[in-house]
Amino acid sequence: MRRIHFSRRVVLLSAVAVLATLFVIFVLASSRWRMGRVDLTSDKLYTLTPGTVHIVEGLHAPLRLTLYFSSHATRDLPQLRTYEQRVAEMLQEMVARSHGRIRLKIVDPVPYSDDEASAEGYGLSPINGGTNGERVFFGLVGSTLSSSADADIDTEGEDRLPKKVQAIPLFDPSRETFLEYDIAKLLYELDQPSKPHIGVISSLPVQGNPVIGEEPWTVMRQLSQQFDVKTLDPAKLKHIDGDIKALLVIHPKHLPADALYAIDQYVLNGGHLVVFVDPVAEMDNTPFVDSNGVTDDHNSNLSRLFSAWGVQYDPQKVVLDRSRALRIELADNSSMSHPAMLGLGQPELNHDDVTTASLQRINVSSVGYFDLAQGTPSRLVPLMQSTTDAEVVPSQRVRESINNPAALLDNYKPDNVHYVIAARVRGQFPSAFPERSNEQGHLAGANASTEVILVGDTDLLSDRLWVSYAQSLLGQPQLSAIANNGDLITNIADNLSGSSALLSIHGRVSSQRPFTRVLALQSAADQKFLAKKQELQRELAVTRTRLAELQPAKSAGRSDSATPEQRAEIEQFLQRQLQINKQLRDVQHQFNAEIDALGLRLKFINIVLIPSIVTIVGLLYGWRRSRRSRRGRA
């Protein structure tokens, strides 16, 4: 048998060809099935959540996304350029997951260009401070096209006008934790054929009264711009349709059993509910005592449903908070702080929830609070809460102090508790109506974890707490917001009216990773500085006291009568002050030395150690290969 011998060169070339073929196959497969990218970040920053993947992969219409970023104007803004790279990478990941449904285009709108005019036309918000004073655009415009899903949506033409356009006016780096949510929400809204339906049940005149020319409340007018708002009559309500994406129940008073049961089943079936209750609803115009002698305290409750959900709420209790009290004008033109009317700022709002993260201020009045019953499996996530300077008082006391709010501060004793004014309540709720188990379609409990949002105030919806009216030059009333109450309600409705996939997308961690070791060293040094500073202040106080004791009474303005003891005391203090200052400098030097040593270690690892290891491994590999080659020739 004849043996075929291949030269080493032929074998090497064949191996290279095989490797090249495998590499091409791997690249093609990775681009098709996303195999070529591995997310090694500890927080999986570049991995889409399942909710986003569900939205992207389920898109019905072809979408065009245009990312406007002023690259030329941000040459001197490295932080913004880094964030743009983060945004672009997330968009590219979504494009790769969309099976060709999404096409992405990145545009640099240079000044006075058609692209800049286009960015302005789509409502993007420029910021100042770019290179040479140029404006910086950093936003996203998404549009659906009228062409078929299989067509190439990069083609331009008159018959390819967008059917629907949505935009993110500005990518704010401070909102990076909600970047994925904001983009997924844009995609979801673009893919919806019509406005989401929202139901409203209210005993307050939130929709106004057309008969007497009363306009709807501003918050309802805002909601109607983005949603199809449908008012539901609780007296006739027996079932809530599934097309109601979110249900707002405002100031529920004496709801019929059928209406309560409809709300109960709506929630258990995965419906999204927001409940606004109030211990003292100041916009409730019902007489406190009607002609039949029936008393109405202007409070509201959903006690039966709350009990089933494991929620504790007392409609006879109001939260006061003197540290967040709003100043009000009294009848005599004077003003005072009203401890029942609160201006909640960022410290009292949940920064990790998409509905409240970007809000600055929420004004509320005579609010209640929520808690969980002992042993309940439900989970309560605060959205708004009081400070620890809050106190709970009976609602009757608040009603009696309408003309004298200062009386609420009498015998004020803070409870040192953060009272939850608004919250998400999550759990696998049971039905509040087990006796109706024989009715058709009855759900005894939720099949999966459900969620409701509870707000312990209805007055925050009224114009008086967050809207200011002014006359324009043409004599028309002009509205301006003095608080973010309207934004809060719109955010809640926006969040709940989305799909369950959208609701599952929560805030992500920021890509800006802190130097934890450096921060720990700095914290330790700060504690040392604080201890030395306090020591210096104590010694200064003791020395001054001693000087006052030693200094005899003397005429005003004379400073030459100091005794030797006083001069010795002053000299001793000055010497001690110099010693403490030297100790402070030593602490600072030690701190800097630890930081510098850490930096040197990192530089040594990155510049010397790692390259040296790579070099040594390469030399060893080359030496072994040459040694084998010499043995083969021998």
In a domain, 280, yes or no: yes
My answer on whether 223 and 326 are in the same domain is yes
My answer on whether 489 and 571 are in the same domain is no
My answer on whether 201 and 125 are in the same domain is no
My answer on whether 378 and 463 are in the same domain is yes
Among 138, 157, 191, which residue terminates a domain? 191
The pLDDT score that the predictor gives to residue 556 is 43
The pLDDT score that the predictor gives to residue 235 is 94
In a domain, 3, yes or no: no
How far is the CA of 523 from the CAs of 96, 177, 213, 531, in angstroms?
44, 26, 62, 12
Torsion, Cα of 293, 299, 304, 309 (10° steps):
-170
My answer on whether 121 and 151 are in the same domain is yes
In a domain, 370, yes or no: yes
Name the residue range of residue 143's domain: 56-191
Among 136, 163, 191, which residue terminates a domain? 191
CATH classification at residue 153: 3.40.30
In a domain, 361, yes or no: yes
Please give the order of strands across the beta sheet that includes 244-250. 228-231, 197-202, 244-250, 273-276, 450-455, 420-427, 379-385
Q: What are phi and psi of 181, to 5 degrees?
A: -60, -45
My answer on whether 333 and 205 are in the same domain is yes
My answer on whether 213 and 186 are in the same domain is no
Whole-angstrom Cα distance, residue 499 to residue 514?
34
In a domain, 623, yes or no: no
In a domain, 50, yes or no: no
In a domain, 455, yes or no: yes
Instruction: Report mean pLDDT in 10-residue bins for the chain, 634 residues.
Output: 58 74 69 50 66 85 92 87 91 90 92 88 88 87 69 46 81 84 87 88 90 86 90 95 93 95 96 96 84 79 96 97 89 80 95 88 96 94 96 94 88 95 96 94 91 96 87 58 91 82 58 54 55 61 60 46 67 68 63 64 74 81 74 65
Please give the order of strands across the beta sheet that includes 138-145. 102-107, 63-69, 138-145, 162-168
In a domain, 348, yes or no: yes
Side-chain half-sphere of 62: how many Cα atoms within 13 Å? Answer: 18
My answer on whether 248 and 268 are in the same domain is yes
Residue bearing tokens 């600072």: 588
CATH classification at residue 432: 3.40.50
Residue closest to 33 by CA, chosen among 88, 100, 96: 96
Residue bearing tokens 């800049």: 116
Whole-angstrom Cα distance, residue 337 to residue 359?
23
My answer on whether 203 and 115 are in the same domain is no
Q: With residue 421 as reference, give the H or E element that holds it.
A: strand 420-427
Whole-angstrom Cα distance, residue 562 to residue 483?
61
My answer on whether 260 and 324 are in the same domain is yes
The pLDDT score that the predictor gives to residue 158 is 40
My answer on whether 241 and 204 are in the same domain is yes
The pLDDT score that the predictor gives to residue 547 is 54
Number of domains in the chain: 3
My answer on whether 128 and 243 are in the same domain is no
